[in-house]
Amino acid sequence: MKTLNLGLVLLMTTPVFAAPAHKPHLDPEATSAEYRAYLAHGKSANKNKLNVEVDLDPEIEKSIKLGERLAQWVNQINATRTPETAIRLTSPETRISYPIDKPNKYNPAILAAEANALEASMPKEMVTVIFGTEEIPSDTQGVDDKTFATEGRKLDRNYQGAARYKSLNPWREEYKWAAAADVRGYYFLTKNNITAADLKDVATIEPSKLELIKEALYRTCRNYEGSKETQCQEVVDQSTKENELADLYEFTFPAAKANWDSFFKIPEDARRKDVIWLNDIMTVPFNTPSIAKFIPYLQDNIEDEFRFGTWGMKLIFGTFADGPKLVFKAGEVPHVNGLGGNEITMDSNQPIEEYESRWTIRHEFGHVIGLPDCYHEFFDTKLDAYVNYQLDVTDIMCSRAGNMKERIFDELKEAYAPKAEQE
């Protein structure tokens, strides 16, 4: 026990500094249009954070250029077509989520390998246009629409990875800090029902499983007040050598659970004071939009999403000093000014009838009533790559493929229902 005690003392006495804030707000399933808007807006708005090295990275710039040519080509084609025959690279049916056990990983080398593979496999007619420099045509050059859309989506995702890398990399140090909140250690231990009792004797644990457990405990160690990488690796190695993994589990698991819960729980300071919960209705005031069509837009989306069983949410429109309001800005990435905030900013360039806009207003309103994002992203120094994943791809606060869930209802009830109704 002596070695572990020394390691735990090290954890408890090492100063832990808070990670800087103000990283870009880009969910893992952002569209190419959203990335283009962010890059155009961010170039001027965040000029002090521009990373010269990234701006000049040839692999990143190549993938961005290819994606831009693809977008221009699709626009040229669709300019001659009806909405019914237009080529679409995105839809609810083709959206890709990133579950916690199959995270998205990207860096210049990964993106370059993808682009090279696409150049080798894509129809030569598409390669000639996208990878070339000639004038972009207004037809598909003989490629059938289904093949064009299928291959185009692959290249579009490569563009998204490159655009995301360029957008996030000026904040790399912040994303290194974010690695301390990686939930995959807690997820692995709970999914596999591993307890401290299972770790009492290291010698009885099958070697390949032991390596997975050690990696999980390394991550739960990082969850303990943001402990450092080398520090946690040392503690895990010492605990293994001294047969003290059970002690390490018991010491770090509470912090790991609290870290996991933080992606779902409404913080006390994000709970709205203007919400009324009466029987099966949760009423939320909302400042009346200046343009009438946005009233049914808000009602149809928010009231449709936030309902469970006989319970439902209702918006009350009027003039409220501290009530939420809708703001539109051209090229702005949709966001709310903090959990429990009062201002939902939407991109005025995005038609409100589109699926993306309908999902976005539902998700962003979740932040208004205090629900945090349940996806995570960080820079993995071991992989030298960014990693992101969604804790639950069926949850609207985690994924664009998600919806209202019982856990959201339970969280709202705990935060807003009178105590008598919580019993």
Confidence of residue 226 (pLDDT cuts 50, 70, 90): confident
Provide the pLDDT for residue 169: 93
User: In residues, how long is the chain?
Assistant: 423
Q: Evaluate if residue 18 carries a pLDDT over 50.
A: no
Could you read off the pLDDT of 122-158 as tens digits, one per residue?
A: 999 999 999 999 999 999 999 999 999 999 999 999 9
Provide the pLDDT for residue 95: 80
Alpha helices by DSSP H, 169-272: 172-178, 184-191, 207-223, 229-241, 245-261
Mean local confidence (pLDDT), 356-365:
92
Confidence of residue 20 (pLDDT cuts 50, 70, 90): very low
Confidence of residue 422 (pLDDT cuts 50, 70, 90): low
Confidence of residue 348 (pLDDT cuts 50, 70, 90): confident
Query: Of 397, 376, 417, nearest to 177 (Cα)?
Result: 376
Give the range among 87-101, 150-164, 269-283 with minimum mean pLDDT.
Answer: 87-101
Query: Of 23, 17, 68, nearest to 169 (Cα)?
Result: 23
Provide the pLDDT for residue 56: 63
Between 94 and 284, residue with greater pLDDT: 284
Give the Cα separation of 106 and 405 in Å (integer).
30
Q: Evaluate if residue 73 carries a pLDDT over 90.
A: yes
For residue 180, the number of C-alpha atoms closer than 13 Å in the C-beta half-sphere is 22
Cα distances from 164 to residues 40, 112, 168, 171, 396, in angstroms, run 13, 14, 6, 12, 21
Mean local confidence (pLDDT), 28-52:
70
Residue 96, both tokens: 């890709």
Mean local confidence (pLDDT), 340-344:
96
Q: Evaluate if residue 31 carries a pLDDT over 60.
A: yes
Report the relative pairing of strands 335-336 and 311-318 from DSSP bridges.
unpaired
Phi, psi of 80 (to 5 degrees): -105, 5
Long-range pairs for 188-194 at CB < 8 Å and ≥24 separation? 188/212, 188/213, 188/215, 188/216, 188/219, 189/213, 189/216, 189/220, 189/249, 189/253, 189/256, 194/249
Confidence of residue 366 (pLDDT cuts 50, 70, 90): very high
Could you read off the pLDDT of 167-199 as tens digits, one per residue?
A: 999 999 999 999 999 999 999 999 999 999 999
Residue whose token pair is 């770790």: 199
Give the Cα separation of 97 and 254 in Å (integer).
29
Give the Cα separation of 53 and 50 in Å (integer).
9
Confidence of residue 50 (pLDDT cuts 50, 70, 90): very low
CB of 404 closer than 8 Å to CB of 307: yes
What residue type is 41 in one-letter code? Answer: H
Q: Angle at the Cα of 214 (from 209 to 216), degrees rounded to 5?
A: 95
Query: Residue 180, Cβ neighbours under 10 Å: how many?
Result: 21
Provide the pLDDT for residue 47: 47
Domains of the chain as residue ranges with CATH: 2-19+184-261 (no CATH), 32-175 (no CATH), 268-373+404-422 (3.40.390.10)
Could you read off the pLDDT of 95-121 as tens digits, one per residue?
A: 889 999 999 999 999 999 999 999 999
Confidence of residue 17 (pLDDT cuts 50, 70, 90): very low
**Would you call 361 exposed, middle or buried from its count of C-beta atoms within 10 A (0-12, 13-18, 19+)?**
buried
Provide the pLDDT for residue 96: 86
Could you read off the pLDDT of 300-329 as tens digits, one per residue?
A: 999 999 999 999 999 999 999 999 999 998
Contacts (Cβ under 8 Å, ≥6 apart) of 50: 43, 170
The mean pLDDT value of the chain amounts to: 90
Q: Evaluate if residue 354 carries a pLDDT over 90.
A: no
Provide the pLDDT for residue 287: 98
Confidence of residue 54 (pLDDT cuts 50, 70, 90): very low
Provide the pLDDT for residue 45: 45
